Structure 1
Amino acid sequence: MASPHLRTPGTPSLLELCIKAATRDKSCVKAWRQKRRTFEMLPSELAHELFNSLLQSHLLSATLIGLFQSNLQEVNLSGEATVDGEWMAYLGGCRHLRALRATDCKALTNNAIRQLTGLTAMEELDLARCRKISDDAVPHILSFKMLRKLGLAETGLTTKGLLLLPGLSRLVLLDLGGCPVTDADLISFQALGMLEHLDLWGSKVTNMGARCLSSFKTLKYLNLAMTAVTAIPQLNSLLSLNLCNCDVESIYGDGTFSDSLLRELFLSGASLSLKDVISGSNTRNLHLLDLASSRVNDLDAFVHIPKLAILDLRATGLTNELMLKFQGLGDNLRWIDLSYTKIDSEGVGAIAGHAPNVEQLSLNHTPVDDNVFIYLVHFPVLQSLNLGGSKVNGFMTVGSEEFQQISVLSYLEQLQHLRRLDMRYTGVGDAALHGLKNLVQLSHLHIHSNSLSGLCILEICTLQK
């Protein structure tokens, strides 16, 4: 006899079937909701699964929350338009509640947050984009003495409420993106000695306030996108820095120190000189560099980023000539996005063989043509390739006297690790797609063309997976 614990992969478990039956409709919920003592004995994990199933089925009401008051530890109500003060009143009775995520709950008010003040175990609260939350909610939030993560992005907070936040001395994460945080507010946050994650995008912080960041000794993540900040002081503990849409002049001053841990640098839409901003000392451990939509006219600074693995150069106006600078990036590069640039097939050829470990390459909406396939074979471990919106047709014309068209998609057979291929909005038609018939390892093919027939698509679907 087969073990009762074994089941066919993909089939629901007995527990999943029970929860599905219990949350099928309102009549099913009405049948079991009177059994309060049974709920009190439910394991926390099972209670959470039932709670989330009710929420997803739109069967959860404020009064039903009362059944879970002995079990709930984490609740995510994000985006639920009906969540209001009544819901918070019932959640206020969930004495073990540690985390509440209620982002985009438009009906939540300051008074609703007051209903939660007795929750002494609360460690995480996210009220991002709850527009009715303002300074008057902060005194209630201060009652959560164990709070470690607080999200108030795009709420109605002003300096009056912001200056009270240092009272939450255990905070490790503070998200105030889109709030009018001033230099004075930021300076007051120095009292948050355990802070690791600080999100201040779109704030009123300037270089004057940013200077105090050097006193945040435990800070790992900093987001100052869309601010007037142009210079970042030395932050030895920082792992991730976001300065998107800023006019960046310097990062870490003159770069004379040697122990930067920075791994992620987001400069999308920024105005900067790479040579001035990136130095050997502040980027030697950099793993990810996002320069999308920024002004890139010199890539010499790349020689200072020996560990770079992820590079985003979308919509940068990058040219073939600049691609020659890629040749010094070494073997660490794994992911390159060149979408919406002026790079053509010859530009790809400039780095062919110089980035042998690239696994993902995006060339969508670039002028690359069918000649690119000659160079793609020099990316031997490529797993994902995006050619959508390019000039690829799937055929190449050869011969000096008698012109002959040959299928070029068969070149991809040499890429034995290729799993994903995107050729949407290209000129690839039925005849060219036959070149994919031997790509048995391909698991995801995205294609959209007026040149395709139903018969050809059916043939593609028979590819061995």
Structure 2
Amino acid sequence: MAGGTCCRWFKHPRMRFLLPKEQQCPPLLDLCIRKITQEIEIHKHHTFSALPPDLCQRIFNELVFSSCFLTPASLQAFLDCALQDIYLGEYDGAAVDDAWMEVISSQGSSLLHLDLSGSDVTDHGLTYLKDCKNIISLNFNHCHQISDRGLECISGLTRLESLNIKWCNCIVDVDMKPLSELTNLKILEISFSKVTDFGISFLKGLRKLALLNLEGCHVTAACLDSLAELPSLSNLNLSRCNLSNDGCEQFSRLENLEVLNLGFNNVTDACLAPLKGDLKCEPHSLSLSTILKRLTKLKSLNLDSCWIEDEGLVHLAGHQQLNCLELSDTGIGSDGLHYLSGLSSLEKLNLSFTMVNDSGLSKLCGLSSLKSLNLDARQVTDTGLASLTSLTGLTELDLFGARITDFGTNYLKCFKNLRLLEICGGELTDDGVKNIKELSSLTCLNLSQNCNLSDTTLELISGLTGLISLNISNSGITNAGLKHLKTLKNLRSLSLESCKVTANDIRKLQSTDLPNLVIFRPQ
């Protein structure tokens, strides 16, 4: 802010307002809203229905944000207030249950967005929603008491575009049938439910469905036969589904896929061997070549913890449109990286916990579009970092476990756009931080596990005023060095675990100089 003014932003879905620092007078409306929320606790206000809906919305949002005053009793003041957005997901105040639903349903046709994730609302509670015909999005994530009877209650909400029923343990195949009537659905998340291939067959008529999250469901590759009937499907998450090779040829029918997550499945390139007359195909694995066949629009591919090795990457070479590739914890090494060298659109690449070493990193130097690179691997050293200096567009660089020394930090000067940097291999001293202090665009910095860092490090980085998150745990930082953090007014998260610093030390700093600090360790 001009003139060094320090301000604090409070955020909530569909709400964002500015609270200036104490010596400045807040806007009159903000003062009124704060006063009203305080008076709610003593039940001074019995109804807000005569107020304009937008003002009611702001009062309601502030109550939710404060996590203090909103209860089934105080909620009665919002009866018939025409609220558009009710976000009670993971609400920290009173337990949200069916007792809240009468007031929620009284918003009627005005209600557009409802988040009840983590609540105790039951099937009976959902019966109240029948008059909320204009709801666009519903979130029931971790609502363990909702089953088919509850989903039948929302089947009449035909304008619904987004539905989240992740981690709803009671959801089984029969519960999918009511969803077949929600023909305007564009987003459906069913992760970690008991739904199988049969349940997915009820989704065939959802022709507008663009995103489907089936992570952890009991589906097989046979569900692809039903998914092939969805012409708008562009984002599919099948991670942790224990998929087998049977039926995987159906992937070629999902021609409009742009995002595909197959992490933690038995995806492998072993099935390519029979084409060369070498080895027998693994019967319970998904062939990468089969999966990628005809998926010419694919922009994001997640193969985290799959059985992919160097030769399997040859099937990625022709996918010039790829901009995000997740290869963490796979069997690839440096030899396979040359297959990636031509992916000119690639912006995000994760090679953590792979066998990639310094010798292969030079093959990535032509990826001029790369913005995010994860090289969390012990075999990466200063030499490998030197090979990457042409990637000047990087904004995120994760070298968490890499063995980067003070000398290696000289190469960081080439990455002037870095916003996130992690170097936690244990080989840095204060001398290395002298190069990091020049990275003025940094907002997130993790230097934990470097035990030789001292209070001098805090002095060196005191000029990185854009920092939002800072972690220097397991180092030699002491209470005496905390004074150097006073300039980091934007800091929201600070971790100094296993340092000679106590929670009280940080609280004092928070109260006097770091008003935006909301997360800190130790605590």
Indicate the TM-score class for this superposition, using the shorter chain for normalisation.
0.7 to 0.9
Aligned partners of 1:314 and 1:339 also within 8 Å: yes
1:18 corresponds in structure 2 to: 33
Aligned partners of 1:21 and 1:28 also within 8 Å: no
Aligned partners of 1:252 and 1:282 also within 8 Å: no
Size of the aligned set, in residue pairs, is 427
1:28 corresponds in structure 2 to: 43
Aligned amino acid, residue 273 of structure 1? E
Q: Which moved more, 1:281-290 or 1:57-66?
A: 57-66
Task: Supply the distance in 1 between the matched residues of 2:470 and 2:340 (Cα, whole angstroms).
Answer: 33
1:412 corresponds in structure 2 to: 436
Task: Supply the distance in 1 between the matched residues of 2:31 and 2:85 (Cα, whole angstroms).
Answer: 9
Aligned amino acid, residue 116 of structure 2? L
Q: Which moved more, 1:334-343 or 1:82-91?
A: 334-343
1:179 corresponds in structure 2 to: 217
- Cα separation, partners in 2 of 1:117 and 1:20, compared to 1, 3 Å: farther
- Is 1:89 aligned with 2:127? yes
1:347 corresponds in structure 2 to: 384
Task: Supply the distance in 1 between the matched residues of 2:31 and 2:257 (Cα, whole angstroms).
Answer: 41
Give matches, 1:2-401, under 5 Å: 9=20, 11=26, 14=29, 17-18=32-33, 21=36, 25=40, 28=43, 31-32=46-47, 38=50, 42=53, 46=57, 47-48=82-83, 51-52=86-87, 56=91, 57-58=93-94, 61-80=100-119, 82-203=120-241, 205-230=243-268, 249-251=287-289, 260-279=296-315, 281-297=317-333, 298=335, 299-327=337-365, 329-351=366-388, 353-394=389-430
Task: Supply the distance in 1 between the matched residues of 2:463 and 2:30 (Cα, whole angstroms).
Answer: 42
- Cα separation, partners in 2 of 1:195 and 1:23, compared to 1, 3 Å: farther
- Cα separation, partners in 2 of 1:360 and 1:166, compared to 1, 3 Å: closer
- Cα separation, partners in 2 of 1:219 and 1:325, compared to 1, 3 Å: closer
- Cα separation, partners in 2 of 1:455 and 1:303, compared to 1, 3 Å: same
Aligned amino acid, residue 411 of structure 1? N
- Cα separation, partners in 2 of 1:123 and 1:324, compared to 1, 3 Å: closer
Task: Supply the distance in 2 between the matched residues of 1:311 and 1:28 (Cα, whole angstroms).
Answer: 54
Aligned partners of 1:43 and 1:71 also within 8 Å: no
Deviations 1:284-326 (A, max 9, x none): 2222222211122222223222332222121223322233333
By how many angstroms is 1:103 displaced? 1.4
Structure showing greater Rg: 1
Where 2:247 maps in the other structure, the secondary structure is: helix
- Is 1:457 aligned with 2:482? yes
Task: Supply the distance in 2 between the matched residues of 1:463 and 1:145 (Cα, whole angstroms).
Answer: 50
Aligned amino acid, residue 376 of structure 2? S
Where 1:356 maps in the other structure, the secondary structure is: coil
Aligned amino acid, residue 409 of structure 1? V
Aligned partners of 2:239 and 2:264 also within 8 Å: yes
Where 1:300 maps in the other structure, the secondary structure is: helix
- Cα separation, partners in 2 of 1:101 and 1:51, compared to 1, 3 Å: closer
Task: Supply the distance in 2 between the matched residues of 1:45 and 1:199 (Cα, whole angstroms).
Answer: 38
Task: Supply the distance in 2 between the matched residues of 1:217 and 1:50 (Cα, whole angstroms).
Answer: 36
Percent of pairs identical after alignment? 22
Where 1:150 maps in the other structure, the secondary structure is: strand
- Which runs of 5 or more structure 2 residues have no equivalent in the other structure? 1-16, 58-81, 271-283, 491-523
1:236 corresponds in structure 2 to: none
**TM-score normalised according to structure 1 size:** 0.78
2:446 corresponds in structure 1 to: 422
Aligned partners of 2:187 and 2:212 also within 8 Å: yes
Task: Supply the distance in 2 between the matched residues of 1:54 and 1:450 (Cα, whole angstroms).
Answer: 37
- Which runs of 5 or more structure 1 residues have no equivalent in the other structure? 1-5, 233-245, 395-406
Where 1:455 maps in the other structure, the secondary structure is: helix
- Cα separation, partners in 2 of 1:365 and 1:132, compared to 1, 3 Å: same
By how many angstroms is 1:155 displaced? 2.0
By how many angstroms is 1:253 displaced? 7.7
Of the three residues 473, 481, 485, the one matched with 1:448 is: 473
Aligned partners of 1:318 and 1:341 also within 8 Å: no
By how many angstroms is 1:389 displaced? 4.4
**RMSD across aligned C-alpha pairs, in angstroms?**
3.8
Aligned partners of 2:258 and 2:297 also within 8 Å: no
